[in-house]
């Protein structure tokens, strides 16, 4: 997956009022920090960042940050996105700079691929237990997804982290963690039949009870 390019703008002011003005002007307040650098207040284009965010599909995001007049851009990992709890408006972003050539550990989404005969026939279904795995990789080589092929799996087969591979880098999640399994499909028809039989049995029991009560009444009347 190629790095996502973002243009950053220097920001000299801070505070609620200044941030509110920035957002009204289409700029998103952000902070860029790193291990060997001081934190830097910056701004992003709100629209451009929103578009980039919508295409991530749950994957971790690594950006190439470009600033006008600066030749060398920084590579940064998206650490936090703050949104308004009601309107979902973007409020603030935290970015962490990654030294070039240094591996970073990020969560990469799992993508299930392949046509499985058992699932296709309706005898089974895919039970996904893990939607991402941690991968240690250089930022420029970060895979977009980790593909898991289920075409050869049979009923009750399982796939663990140790069974999957990444095209680049190294998977560092617990190898014994369950990723998915093919579980038997639940047949609701049988349950409905059993429930119906149970209702009929209850109705019969109630009828027998009523009949017994009626007979008891007649016996008492005869007495």
Q: How far apart are CA 135 and CA 92, in angstroms?
A: 26
CB within 8 A of 99, min separation 6: which ones? 34, 35, 36
Q: What number of residues does the chain have?
A: 223
Same structural domain, 178 and 192: no
Mean pLDDT of all residues belonging to the chain: 83
Give the pLDDT of residue 78. Answer: 87
Please state which of the ranges 26-30, 143-147, 181-185 shows the lowest mean pLDDT: 143-147
pLDDT bin (cut points 50, 70, 90) of residue 212 is low
Which residue in this structure is represented by tokens 């039949």? 193
Domain boundary among 45, 67, 97: 97
Instruction: Give me the CATH number covering residue 118.
Output: 2.170.120.20
Same structural domain, 39 and 64: yes
Domain boundary among 65, 97, 129: 97
Q: What is the dihedral of CA 129, 136, 81, 41, to 10 degrees?
A: 170
Same structural domain, 176 and 193: no
DSSP string of 157-170, one letter each residue:
-EEEGGG---SSSE
Same structural domain, 12 and 85: yes
Q: How many CB atoms lie within 10 A of CB 109?
A: 16
Q: How far apart are CA 125 and CA 114, in angstroms?
A: 13
Same structural domain, 85 and 162: no
Same structural domain, 138 and 85: no
pLDDT bin (cut points 50, 70, 90) of residue 204 is low
Residues 169-188 have a mean pLDDT of 91
Same structural domain, 194 and 155: no
pLDDT bin (cut points 50, 70, 90) of residue 174 is very high
Q: How far apart are CA 186 and CA 118, in angstroms?
A: 13
Give the pLDDT of residue 42. Answer: 93
| Tokens (6 digits) for 204 | 């019969």
Nearest alpha-carbon partner for 134 in 179, 76, 180: 179
Same structural domain, 75 and 10: yes
Range of the domain at 201: 187-223
Give me the percent of the chain exceeding a pLDDT of 70: 80
Same structural domain, 179 and 218: no
DSSP-based three-state secondary structure for 96? strand
Same structural domain, 60 and 135: no
Is it the case that residue 109 has pLDDT exceeding 80?
yes
Same structural domain, 93 and 53: yes
Instruction: Give me the CATH number covering residue 84.
Output: 2.40.240.10
Q: How far apart are CA 179 and CA 131, in angstroms?
A: 8
Provide the domain count of the chain. Answer: 3
Same structural domain, 80 and 18: yes
């Amino acid at each position: 997956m190629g790095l996502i390019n973002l243009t950053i703008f220097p920001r000299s002011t801070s505070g609620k009022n200044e941030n509110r003005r920035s957002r009204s002007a289409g700029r998103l307040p952000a902070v860029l920090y790193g291990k060997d650098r001081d934190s830097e207040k910056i701004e992003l284009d709100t629209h451009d960042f929103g578009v980039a965010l919508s295409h991530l599909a749950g994957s971790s995001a690594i950006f190439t940050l470009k600033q006008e007049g600066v030749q060398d851009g920084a590579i940064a990992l998206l650490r936090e996105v703050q949104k308004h709890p009601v309107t979902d408006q973007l409020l603030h972003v935290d970015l962490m700079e990654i030294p070039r050539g240094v591996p970073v550990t990020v969560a990469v989404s799992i993508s299930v691929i392949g046509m499985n005969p058992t699932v296709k026939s309706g005898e089974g279904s895919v039970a996904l237990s893990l939607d991402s795995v941690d991968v240690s990789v250089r930022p420029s080589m970060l895979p977009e997804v980790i593909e898991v092929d289920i075409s050869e799996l049979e009923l009750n087969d399982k796939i663990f982290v140790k069974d999957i591979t990444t095209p680049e880098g190294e998977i560092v999640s617990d190898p014994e963690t369950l990723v998915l399994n093919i579980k038997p499909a639940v047949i609701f028809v049988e349950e409905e039949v059993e429930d119906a039989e149970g209702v009929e049995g209850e109705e019969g029991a109630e009828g027998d009870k009523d009949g017994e009560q009626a007979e008891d009444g007649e016996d008492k009347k005869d007495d």
